[in-house]
Amino acid sequence: MNSGNLGEVISIVANDIEEARLLKTDLLGDAIESALSETGGAKDVGLFRTPDHIRQFMTAMLEPTFDDLIFDPACGTGGFLFDAFEFVMRRVDPTREWPGEKAQSEQKKWFDDYFAAHQIEFPSIEQTSQFYRTGVRGIEYLGMIRKMAAINFYIRGLNPANIEQGDSLAKYSPATDHESKSVILANPPFGAERDQEAYPDVWGEYSKESETTILFVKLMFEHLKQGGRCAVVVSEGFHTWDQFSAKALRKILLEEAQLKAVISLPQGLFVSKSGQGPKTSILVFEKGGKTQWTWFYKVTNDGFTIGTNRKEQKGNQLPECLDLWHEYVKIGKKPPETKNQFCIPAEWIKTLDSRIKEKIRAETRVDMEEKSKIERARKIDELDRKIKANKATESDKKMELKVFDQMVENRIQNEIAKRIDKAHNFSFNLANYKSSLSKNQLSEWIETLKHVKQPDKATTLDAIYKCLISKKADSILTSLSTLNPENSLELDIAREYLSNADESIVNKHK
């Protein structure tokens, strides 16, 4: 990166800038991104600056207050942080104009309506002093950009000392930072290089993980207090990355947090003069508890045309997304389903295809039984020698072989469990969990099987699959009726069975 470019940016932004524009937008961030993109520097550091309207949208989802400790571990010029500050301030001061005149018009109207309905009283001097001292904090890796963030803070009346410079992954200290923040808003760098070989304080088990997005999301999880909220931009590859660290992190967000929403953003949203950035999503989660279901919303129109020179257009979906979030999802209710938004049960995400499990069981057993044959043959030779030397009896041999066979079986079961656990993906690609059946087809499925008596007890997908492959004709309809046709995996199992079923069995149930 050429620091001279940034020096030029400073001289440019220091002269002839309207105060109102500087206060209402991240003009410094715009200038820096432009300068970096001229030389490809933005890609070198994984930097794709978050558009104003997306930052404002994410801030409105988390609704920070004076009582929150707000944090961004990759803050750039501080856009998320001063948007959070402005959000907090406008709730007590209706004269403030955030998000400003240049905001997307439909989104600006949403904010005007929101603040008109959600005004609160000005907090105490103690609260405001505490909020100024420690309420809004960030870390930026690059020194010159950190200075820009400090300027952004200073001109808005925030404490510029709250912006630190350095590697936030290396700076994390469990003793002082663990569960210390209540709101995190961030867009960590995509594919950036690590500054050091390992980060054991962030994640001991995967301290040498090379994908920094994984480490940053884990860092945010560690920083959050119980009940703390996070909205973070990730590349959509994060949803399905196959390395063990990625799968373990997705499992953590399901088991130790409530993954409230996955908001899919349009391709081309992150773009600079040096090229188009990756397709992205926003993850929204709350630390603590367990995920019961996750809301998926697909944004195809964010209020601007796609391309380098984005222009405002009508039909912005972000206001609708915010309405549904506040009216339903935020308070634990599921909104009425549409083609671009629906809820997915966490159990669907955590379920591994029964066919994959059966394959793992079969392959593992063949593999380990083959290896144990040599060991068993040696055991038999050893026992035969003892019998010949009158040091053991045939009864002893029988007993020891029985113990050996049980030990082998235990090994096989343990290895099967390990391989099945590793095979779980915990994919956040939520659209793949919904079946392709239309409403009419779903109704037809239910109507066809409504006469079938349901089992008295709840049953698992594994049990249903075993019943289907056992080819017991009397239980087939019960098994099929127990499958959920809205679940793409369960529907696929039903289709596979019906396409391969014996014709006599099918005819019997016509």
Q: What is the pLDDT of residue 194?
A: 84
Residue 273 and residue 257 in one domain: yes
Residue 405 and residue 460 in one domain: no
Residue 428 in this model has a pLDDT that exceeds 90? yes
Residue 287 and residue 147 in one domain: yes
Q: What is the pLDDT of residue 456?
A: 66
Reading the block at residue 161, the tokens are 């000392």
Span 292-324, pLDDT tens digits: 999 999 999 999 998 778 899 999 999 999 999
Cα atoms in the 13 Å half-sphere on the side-chain side of 245: 18
Residue 268 in this model has a pLDDT that exceeds 70? yes
- Give the total number of structural domains in the chain: 3
Domain region containing 479: 435-508
By mean pLDDT, which of 69-73, 193-197, 336-340, 486-490 is the weakest? 193-197
Residue 341 and residue 358 in one domain: no
The more confident residue out of 402 and 43 is 402
Span 229-244, pLDDT tens digits: 999 999 999 999 999 9
Is residue 71 within a helix (H) or strand (E), and if so which, with residue range?
Answer: strand 70-72
Residue 223 in this model has a pLDDT that exceeds 80? yes
Q: What is the pLDDT of residue 6?
A: 47
Q: What is the pLDDT of residue 105?
A: 95
- The domain that holds 78 is classified in CATH as 3.40.50.150
Residue 358 and residue 340 in one domain: no
Residue 449 and residue 387 in one domain: no
Q: Residues with Cβ < 8 Å from 366, sequence gap 6 or more?
A: none
Q: Residues with Cβ < 8 Å from 472, sequence gap 6 or more?
A: none
Residue 226 and residue 311 in one domain: yes
Q: What is the pLDDT of residue 272?
A: 57
Residue 228 and residue 257 in one domain: yes
Residue 479 and residue 409 in one domain: no
Q: What is the pLDDT of residue 216?
A: 97
Span 29-42, pLDDT tens digits: 554 454 444 444 44
Q: What is the pLDDT of residue 44?
A: 45
Q: What is the pTM of this model?
A: 0.87
Residue 2 in this model has a pLDDT that exceeds 50? no
Q: What is the pLDDT of residue 480?
A: 87
Q: Is 26 within the bounds of a domain?
A: no
Convert 114-160 into a string of H (helix), E (strand) and C (coil): HHHHCCCCCCCHHHHHHHHHHHEEEEECCHHHHHHHHHHHHHCCCCH
Q: Is 137 within the bounds of a domain?
A: yes
Residue 224 in this model has a pLDDT that exceeds 90? yes
Average pLDDT over residues 411-437: 95
Residue 168 and residue 112 in one domain: yes
Q: What is the pLDDT of residue 154?
A: 86
Average pLDDT over residues 156-181: 94
Instruction: Kindly report whether the peptide bond that precedes residue 174 is cis, defined as omega within 30 degrees of 0.
Output: no
Residue 263 and residue 118 in one domain: yes
Residue 78 and residue 145 in one domain: yes
Q: Which of 320, 335, 350 is the last residue of a domain?
A: 350
Q: Is 428 within the bounds of a domain?
A: no
Average pLDDT, the chain: 87
Span 82-101, pLDDT tens digits: 999 999 999 999 888 899 88
By mean pLDDT, which of 98-112, 276-290, 493-507 is the weakest? 493-507
Burial (CB < 10 A; 0-12, 13-18, 19+), residue 328, is middle
Rg, C-alpha atoms of the chain: 29
Q: What is the pLDDT of residue 4?
A: 44
